[in-house]
Structure formats: structure tokens, C-alpha cells
Amino acid sequence: MNILVTGACGQLGRTLKDVSTGYEHKCFFTDVREGEGIARLDVTSGKAVEEFLEAADVDVIVNCAAYTDVDGAESDEGMARLVNVTAPKVLAEAAVKKGAVLIHISTDYVFDGKAFRPYAEDDPPAPASVYGRTKHEGENEILASGCRYIIFRTAWLYSIYGRNFFLTMAARTADKPVLKVVSDQTGTPTYALDLAGLIFNVIDSQMLDKTGIYHFTDEGVCSWYDFAKAINEGLGHLCDIVPCRTSDYPSKAVRPHYSVLDKTKVKEVFGIDIPHWHESLICCIQDWENAGSRL
């Protein structure tokens, strides 16, 4: 089976690339810029995508490409819309022509975060930011295309690559005696390696016919403050983590106060066990320390 992974320079794409080492299927990794083992592909160009799918005889597209700068999207909606809406539409339409399956990564930001219970897949989206709206519209473009698809909504994704909360806290707690972190936003940290494992498991288990939208994060619930404390302690840093409110740090985009996703459906349909976020954080810290100078 031939698999195309877009957005391969991002944290999930790079994690998938790591996991694919020695993989039985042929994987093609692409992004808007070339890199080691990564080809250039403009996923907003229908012609470019269709030509790539034909040349590589692609069976499965894993779309990790996304505009994820939540605050940046508020002032650059055009770029956010190009990557989060146009690209999924292009990939979905190309998938239809090729007969390929599209696995697309979406986000908890399609909800406004005002609930008091975990969000299920059939809860009505109500995005409160440009980022959330464009990701929701991207989902709708995939559904309207008629392609075979699996959409995974995830939240609080982190890894040993790129820009994310784990790496930010690792750096700041190393050299700051005190650090304030928001304690009134609740969700579930999700290690990119766990999501990558699910994606390849779905492909390997020949469950690509399980069309639909699924929620996937690690298990458990915490605040950003709790997550920061766990990172600080896990790394053996001595920074004093102090809780604060969202209102203490005004931002351009509205952040969901409650981003917990219900994972009942993904566990039942794909028969998976999901690790607790703290267990996965320990694994991430070990992976980060082992990676050392490679990063």
C-alpha cells in the first residue's frame, strides 16, 4: 500500500516519518518545503496533487498539513483558509478521482469550549475563532466531496518536534525561577506518537472503511497549569509554577475553556486502548532526552 503524508515538516508529520522506519508500506512525505526525505508538494494545487497521486499510485492520504497559529489566523484569515479549507478540499477531490482514502487531522477548536462534559462527535460545532472556523469548514469540504474519509479530531498535541507546549515549558522552566501558567483552561494533552500509532494501526488493520469523524486524545483531564507542573517535575527542573487566569494574558483568539473530547466511539470502532496523558508525557520526556543532539 502506498501512503502520502502531507505536512511532513510539522510535529505529527515528523512523528509519522519516525514511526514509518522499517514500515511494510511505502510512505511518501511531503510539505511546502523540501527536507531530508521530504518532497515538495503544494496541497492547495489540484493539478499538483493529482499528478503526485498518480505518479506514486497513492492508496491513502494522511493530511497533517494545517495552519495552526491560532492567534495568527485572526489577522491572516486568508492563509488560514488556504491551508485549512482549500487544501482539504483539493485533497478530498483528488482522493475521489484516484479512489484513495483520506485521513484528515482536525481539532477540538471546532467547539467553543463552553460545555461541562466531554464533547462527542455528534455535538454541534460552534467555533469561536478563525482557526476553529477554518478547520470546521475544512471538515465540511471533505464530507461534501464524497471521498472515503476518516477525520480524527485531536487536542493539545505535543511532541519532541516543532513548536508546542511541551517544548516551550521545557525551555522556560529550565532557566526561569517562576512561571505563570493558565489554570482555567481544561483539556487533555496528546502525545503525537500516540496519534501516529492510531493512524498506522487503522491502515494496518484494514479498517479504512470505517468512514466518519472520531475524537482522539490521550486519557485523563488537566489544566495547562497541571500539564506545566508535570513537565517541570518530569524534567527535574526547579521552576515554581504559579496558576493564573486566561484573562491575565489576553490574546487575539478565543481559547476554549473546556476542550475534553469523548473517545468512546474511537475506542469501540477501532478496538484500541489509550494511555493516560501523564504516562505518555513520561515517554515523551524519555524520547526527547534520548534524541539529544539529533534535534
Active site residues: 131
Contact partners, residue 120, CB within 8 Å, separation at least 6: 215, 262, 264, 265
User: Which residue in this structure is represented by grid cell 505536512?
Assistant: 7
The residue written with cell numbers 470546521 in the block is 136
Give just the sign of the alpha carbon dihedral 88, 90, 95, 96.
positive
**Which residues have CB under 8 Å from 96's CB, separation 6+?**
145, 146, 147
Alpha helices (H) in 208-276, listed in sequence order: 224-234, 264-270
Q: Which of 168, 157, 146, 192 is nearest to 5 (CA)?
A: 192
User: Distance of CA 81 to CAs 8, 67, 148, 194, 256, Å?
Assistant: 19, 8, 22, 28, 20
- CB-CB neighbours of 289 under 10 Å: 10
Is residue 232 a contact partner of residue 241, using CB atoms and an 8 Å limit?
yes
Burial of 50 (0-12, 13-18, 19+ CB in 10 A): middle
Distances in Å between the alpha carbon of 162 and those of 8, 12, 120, 141, 172? 11, 9, 29, 28, 15
Going along 72-221, which residue ranges are E strands?
Answer: 101-107, 148-154, 157-158, 178-182, 186-187, 190-191, 212-215
